[in-house]
Amino acid sequence: MTPETISPSRAGTTDERSLPGTERIRQLFARYKILALLLAVAVIWVFFAVLTHGAFATPRNLSNLLRQMAVSGMLACGMVFIIIAGEIDLSVGSLLGLLGGVAAILDANRHWPIGLTVPAVMVLGILAGLFNGWLSTYRRIPSFIVGLGGMLAYRGVLLGITGGSTIAPVSDPFVFIGQGYLPRAAGIALAVVLFALLTLLTVRQRANRRRYDLALLPLWQDVAKVVGAGAILGVFVAVLDSYGGIPLPVLLVLVLLGVFSWIATQTVFGRRIYSVGSNLEATRLSGVDTNRVKLAVFALMGLMCAFAGIVNTARLAAGSPSAGTMGELDAIAACFIGGTSMRGGSGTVYGALIGALVMASLDNGMSMLDVDAYWQMIVKGGILVLAVWIDVVSGSNRR
Q: DSSP assignment of 289-352, as one string?
A: -HHHHHHHHHHHHHHHHHHHHHHHHHHHTSB-TTTTTTHHHHHHHHHHHTT--TTSS---HHHH
Task: Work out the pLDDT band at 33, boundaries 50, 70, 90.
Answer: confident
Q: Which element (helix H / strand E) includes 246?
A: strand 246-247
Tell me, yes or no, whether 236 and 253 share the same domain: no
CATH number at residue 275: 1.10.3470
Tens digit of pLDDT for each residue in 134-193?
Answer: 999 999 999 999 999 999 999 999 999 999 999 999 999 999 999 999 988 888 998 899
Query: What's the rounded Cα separation, in Å, for the pair 170 and 121?
Result: 15
Q: Tell me the mean pLDDT in the region 115-138.
A: 97
Closest alpha carbon to 146 in 122, 129, 124: 129
Tell me, yes or no, whether 27 and 115 share the same domain: yes
Tell me, yes or no, whether 119 and 157 share the same domain: yes
Number of structural domains the chain divides into: 2
311 in a structural domain? yes
- pLDDT score for 176: 96
Tell me, yes or no, whether 323 and 367 share the same domain: yes
Per DSSP, the residues of 148-188 read HHHHHHHHHHHHHHHTTS-B-PPPHHHHHHHH-EE-HHHHH
Tell me, yes or no, whether 195 and 297 share the same domain: no
Task: Work out the pLDDT band at 342, boundaries 50, 70, 90.
Answer: confident
- Residue 246, strand partner residues: 182
Query: Is 84:298 a contact under the CB 8 Å cutoff?
Result: no
Query: Is 296:269 a contact under the CB 8 Å cutoff?
Result: yes
Ramachandran bin of 348, using left for φ above 0, alpha for ψ from -120 to 50, beta for the remaining angles: beta
Task: Work out the pLDDT band at 21, boundaries 50, 70, 90.
Answer: low
398 in a structural domain? no
For 202, 284, 351, the CA distances from 346, given in Å and listed in that order, are 22, 18, 11
Tell me, yes or no, whether 89 and 63 share the same domain: yes
Tens digit of pLDDT for each residue in 284-295?
Answer: 999 999 999 999
User: Does residue 4 carry a pLDDT above 60?
Assistant: no
- Residue 181, strand partner residues: 247
Query: What's the rounded Cα separation, in Å, for the pair 296 and 126?
Result: 9
Query: What's the rounded Cα separation, in Å, for the pair 391 and 287?
Result: 31
pTM (predicted TM-score): 0.88
118 in a structural domain? yes
- pLDDT score for 2: 42
- pLDDT score for 23: 59
Tell me, yes or no, whether 18 and 100 share the same domain: yes
Which structural domain range is residue 122 located in? 3-183+245-393
41 in a structural domain? yes
Query: Is 147:91 a contact under the CB 8 Å cutoff?
Result: yes
